A = this chain, B = another copy of it.
């Protein structure tokens, strides 16, 4: 078995983060919690638990057992978790670990959690939970209700704006994680024309890329969509299918692969043999829009400004719109995070944010071309984490 690109693997950032990193995250969290008048955050989802504790398990793929982490106003996180996770949680910096023998349908951690929350010092009488935008509580709603009923004098309020604010600005170590997976995927995309052939199906192409990403050091590829069509595609999020790649097609591939929990999220387009001139010109316009989006992504601007910079170019190129609804978003421990580069999102860009720049346009009904790069915001503007795609469509022949 060939594990590729030893050089790239040698440059990979160390897995995990230093104790100082977690202390910094905790301090940042507690400061933002104070501004949001929360005595604690109650976390149930993998990315939020991982962000605050460093704890990870693929076992979250099983929906049977809820897991809880409390971030109090002062002091370290409290883990309230199934027994099965105790040996590994003990390896993190979390000192306060409370377990129950799960699954226990009659009380799957709820009494233990209620007890922990009830004993917290109270300043505001409010706990923030993952109740709002771009979050879904990872526990049964009826057990959330049962928890609420057990807490007298404590309000459980929507903590999602607070939590997203905490995670929006990435530390230098987080950025290096994202850069690493962006480089792995950039290399794999560059090599794709050497392993995919006309006559392959979309599914073949995606499988080959999936294997290549793993060989290059990606941990997983939870998102790896491939779509093809003559001169463009009708949608970009479903697939691959068994459609055979034919002359004149554009093959669109998009991956959210991970390294040590952190995602890249960007796509590439390939011409299968010779594609129509109009499609090639539209690809260049979308590339130019990406360039404008990258330039507009500076501290102090809004993500709406970034969207407008791209939309202006796409409109001039004859865009009929697109069904994606936005032109990029935040990126980190999740494939997509707030904000959204779209009309109406006035989130102010700060140094340390990581964004996708993702313009797309339909130029004929059913023919869409979408492009994407990932950037980190520095005090001087956006810096590419991906290796910039070529303006001219690469050809698979």
Residues of A within 8 A of B (CB): 1, 3, 15, 56-59, 61-65, 82-88, 101-105, 129-142, 144, 158, 160, 195, 204, 207-208, 210-212, 214-215, 220-225, 234-239, 242, 256, 323-326, 329, 334-336, 338, 340, 342, 344
Question: What would 15 A/B residue contacts be, using CB atoms closer than 8 Å?
Answer: A1-B212, A58-B224, A59-B223, A64-B336, A82-B325, A85-B238, A101-B325, A103-B342, A105-B344, A129-B141, A130-B141, A131-B140, A135-B140, A141-B141, A210-B220
Oligomeric state, in number of copies? 2
Q: Give CA–CA (A318, B383) in the complex, Å.
A: 60
Q: Are A336 and B207 in contact (CB under 8 A)?
A: no
Q: How close is A229's CB to chain B, nearest CB, in angstroms?
A: 11
Q: How close is A133's CB to chain B, nearest CB, in angstroms?
A: 6
Q: Give CA–CA (A133, B144) in the complex, Å.
A: 11
Q: How close is A15's CB to chain B, nearest CB, in angstroms?
A: 7
User: Which residues on the B side are within 8 Å of A138 (C-beta)?
Assistant: 136
CB within 8 A of A234: which of B87, B140, B326?
Answer: B87
Q: How close is A101's CB to chain B, nearest CB, in angstroms?
A: 6
- Nearest chain B residue, comparing its CB with the CB of A57: B238
Q: Are A323 and B1 in contact (CB under 8 A)?
A: no
Given A103-B325, A323-B83, A325-B83, verify A256-B132 contact (CB < 8 Å).
Answer: no
Q: Are A57 and B237 in contact (CB under 8 A)?
A: yes
Given A84-B237, A325-B83, verify A61-B141 contact (CB < 8 Å).
Answer: no
Q: Are B222 and A222 in contact (CB under 8 A)?
A: yes
Q: Give CA–CA (A138, B138) in the complex, Å.
A: 9
Given A86-B323, A223-B58, verify A136-B136 contact (CB < 8 Å).
Answer: yes
Q: Give CA–CA (A216, B85) in the complex, Å.
A: 31
Q: How close is A56's CB to chain B, nearest CB, in angstroms?
A: 7
CB within 8 A of A88: which of B64, B214, B235?
Answer: B235
Q: Which of A59, A158, A225, A256 has the most CB of B within 10 A?
A: A59
User: Which residues on the B side are within 8 Å of A64 (C-beta)?
Assistant: 134, 329, 336, 338, 340
Q: Which of A104, A129, A207, A212 has the most CB of B within 10 A?
A: A207
Given A222-B222, A223-B58, verify A325-B211 contact (CB < 8 Å).
Answer: no
Q: Are A137 and B137 in contact (CB under 8 A)?
A: yes
User: Which residues on the B side are within 8 Å of A235 (C-beta)?
Assistant: 84-88
- Nearest chain B residue, comparing its CB with the CB of A211: B214
Q: Give CA–CA (A344, B15) in the complex, Å.
A: 41
Q: Give CA–CA (A132, B211) in the complex, Å.
A: 37
Q: How close is A162's CB to chain B, nearest CB, in angstroms?
A: 14
Q: Give CA–CA (A234, B84) in the complex, Å.
A: 10
Q: Give CA–CA (A103, B326) in the complex, Å.
A: 7
Q: How close is A45's CB to chain B, nearest CB, in angstroms?
A: 9
Q: Give CA–CA (A85, B324) in the complex, Å.
A: 9
Given A214-B207, A336-B62, verify A160-B140 contact (CB < 8 Å).
Answer: yes
User: Which residues on the B side are within 8 Å of A239 (C-beta)?
Assistant: 88
Q: Are A335 and B61 in contact (CB under 8 A)?
A: yes
Besides A58-B225, A136-B139, 16 more A-B contacts (Cβ < 8 Å) are A57-B225, A57-B238, A58-B224, A59-B225, A59-B237, A63-B336, A86-B235, A88-B235, A102-B325, A103-B342, A105-B344, A132-B140, A137-B141, A142-B158, A207-B214, A211-B211
Q: Are A84 and B142 in contact (CB under 8 A)?
A: no
